[in-house]
Structures are given as structure tokens and as C-alpha cells.
């Protein structure tokens, strides 16, 4: 559609359109996200991006299921048990005074924050005990996912969620669009 008029009229029309779009659908209680791609794409860093994307489209307190082929357990300390607030404070600093970047810490902070507001379940090639020791739930098969989804009125699915373009604002616990 084409919108014409003065800047104020266009702004009002866009605002009305945005409100109508938001009112159209209620957020689902379950969002299933997948990581697409080969083993280079199946990482905990990409998983954290996907989880942040899902949080944007989920009702408060909802369930996120990460469906992936990740085959390596997170490195020690890469994904903590939800204590993401303290991770960045303990970062080692380089000679120039800036913290040394570790994407594992950023992943842990994101997953920890989303995990405080939503229930996180994971399907991957890592064993159930390793995933559950991280404070995450485990989905072992498509049949388990099907049974889980039957408990919800609606379900969202985001394929290739690592490319969905969302980050998680660690200060407000709300997803933030990338600019």
C-alpha cells in the first residue's frame, strides 16, 4: 500500500497500522526455534541469538524449544545456571583496559536472562544429563515435542532463528531490535 499526506498524517497512519498489526495476533505460549545450517552454524552462540529472537514473539512465562543439531556441550562456564548478571563483571581485562571478548559469556548472559522469564527446552545431540545440569529442559524426540505442543493453544515456529536479527537487552529483560 502507498501512504500519502503530510508527515504528521503519515505518522498517524503508520501508528494506527502498527497498532492494528499488534492487535491481530496474540503471542503464543510456545515457540519452537531451529538452527539451520551445517555444524559451523550449530553453536551455543547461535543458539543464544535464536533464543533471544523467540523471546520477542512469546507470551510472558512461555516456553521456548530450541531444535538444533549442536553436538558439543558448552565449555565450562559458557552457559551458567541463569546467573548471567555476574558473568560480565568477572571478565578478564586486556592490556588496554577493555574486557577480553568471550562470546560464551555473552551467550550465557542472554540465555540466563531469557531463562528467568521463560522456560527453555533444548533438542540437540548432547546428552540429557549435560543439558539438564545447565538448568535447561531436554526434548529427546519429535514425539516429545508433539506431546508438549498439544498442551498449548497456539505455537510459533521460527526457522533459521539465528538469523532473525534480535538481541536481548540485558538491562531491561526485553528483546531489542538490532539497528
Ranked by mean pLDDT, the top range of 3-12, 32-41, 169-178 is 32-41
Confidence of residue 158 (pLDDT cuts 50, 70, 90): very high
pLDDT confidence band for 32 (50 / 70 / 90): very high
Alpha helices in 28-158 (DSSP H): 44-56, 84-87, 103-117, 128-132, 142-149
**CATH 3.30.479.30 at 26-177, yes or no:** no
For residue 121, list its beta bridge partners: 65, 137
> Tell me, what's the pLDDT at 104?
78
Distance CA 51, CA 164 (A): 10
Overall average pLDDT of the 149-175 stretch: 77
Largest CA distance in the chain: 60
% of the chain at pLDDT higher than 90: 48
Residue linked to cell 578478564: 92
Residue 173 has pLDDT above 90, yes or no: no
> What mean pLDDT do residues 35-61 have?
92
Tell me, what's the pLDDT at 77? 57
What per-residue confidence (pLDDT) applies to 91? 55
- Residues 56-101 have pLDDT tens digits of 889 999 999 999 999 998 765 556 544 444 545 555 666 777 777 6
pLDDT in tens, 7-23: 888 888 888 877 776 65
Q: Please state, in angstroms and rounded to a whole number, the distance separating the CA atoms of residues 2 and 55.
A: 32
Return the C-alpha cell found at 71.
Answer: 553436538
Q: What is the pTM of this model?
A: 0.71
- Residue ranges covered by each domain of the chain: 26-177
Amino acid at each position: 500500500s502507498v501512504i500519502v499526506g503530510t508527515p504528521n498524517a503519515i505518522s498517524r497512519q503508520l501508528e494506527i497500522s502498527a497498532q492494528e498489526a499488534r492487535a491481530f495476533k496474540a503471542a503464543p505460549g510456545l515457540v519452537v526455534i531451529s538452527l539451520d545450517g551445517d555444524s559451523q552454524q550449530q553453536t551455543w552462540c547461535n543458539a543464544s541469538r535464536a533464543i533471544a529472537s523467540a523471546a520477542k514473539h512469546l507470551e510472558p512465562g512461555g516456553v521456548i524449544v530450541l531444535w538444533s543439531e549442536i553436538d558439543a556441550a558448552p565449555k565450562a562456564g559458557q552457559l551458567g545456571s541463569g546467573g548471567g548478571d555476574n558473568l560480565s563483571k568477572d571478565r578478564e581485562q586486556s592490556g588496554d583496559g577493555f574486557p577480553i571478548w568471550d562470546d560464551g559469556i555473552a551467550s550465557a548472559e542472554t540465555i540466563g536472562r531469557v531463562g528467568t522469564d521463560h522456560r527453555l527446552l533444548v533438542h540437540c545431540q548432547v546428552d540429557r544429563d549435560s543439558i539438564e545440569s545447565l538448568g535447561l529442559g531436554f526434548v529427546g524426540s519429535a514425539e516429545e515435542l508433539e506431546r508438549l505442543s498439544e498442551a498449548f493453544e497456539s505455537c510459533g515456529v521460527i526457522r533459521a532463528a539465528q538469523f532473525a536479527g534480535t538481541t536481548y537487552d540485558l538491562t531491561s529483560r526485553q528483546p531489542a531490535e538490532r539497528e
